[in-house]
Amino acid sequence: MKNIDDKTREAFQELLTKAFDGELSVEEQKQFNHFVEQFPECAKEWQEMQSLRRVTSTMKFKEPAKEVWDMYWLNTYNRLERGIAWILFSVGAILVGAFVLYNFITQFLQDSHVPAMLRWGIAFLAIGGAALFVSVLREKLFTSKNDPYKEIER
């Protein structure tokens, strides 16, 4: 039975991490196999890692019951918190979009090195995409507010 020195242990630990992730090259695989065959403590550690992988791959998060979620959304604070978060997110998105649009207009569309046909094409593409996005967003908001069956699970 051979004892493993610190330098060898460090090399093995690096290879062990790569082996666990399945990222060993052919040469590294040979070196890793040598460690496992020559040093019992390396073989034991590799077996423990494989056992850990088997156990953790079968684990799943436990989903809370439907009643828990229903009670969560009945709480005014939770609904208010989500509403404020969406408002802040929307304001941020509008500000970033306005900044991008301003830079697009002042820099790209006014750049004389870009052909006029390309500038107009991209401008129409951007305006059309924005209009479609707003249209779909309005439709989704309208239907979600006016859906008489929204409380029914489908």
Q: Which tokens go with 27?
A: 């040469």
Dump pLDDT digits (tens) for 59-70. Answer: 888 887 877 777
- Per the prediction, the chain carries an average pLDDT of 84
In angstroms, rounded to a whole number, what is the distance separating the alpha carbons of residues 33 and 15? 10
The band of 52, judged by pLDDT with boundaries at 50, 70 and 90, is confident
pTM above 0.85, yes or no: no
Rg from Cα positions in the chain: 29
The torsion angles phi and psi of 145, rounded to 5 degrees, stand at -80, -30
Distances, alpha carbon 83 to alpha carbons 76, 95, 120, in Å: 11, 18, 38
Does the pLDDT value for residue 1 go beyond 50? Answer: no
Could you tell me the residue ranges of all domains in the chain? 6-57, 66-146
Q: Which residues contact 108 (CB under 8 A, 6 or more apart)?
A: 114, 119, 122
In angstroms, rounded to a whole number, what is the distance separating the alpha carbons of residues 36 and 44? 8
**CB neighbours of residue 12 within 10 Å:** 22
Q: CB burial class (10 A; 0-12, 13-18, 19+) of residue 57? A: exposed
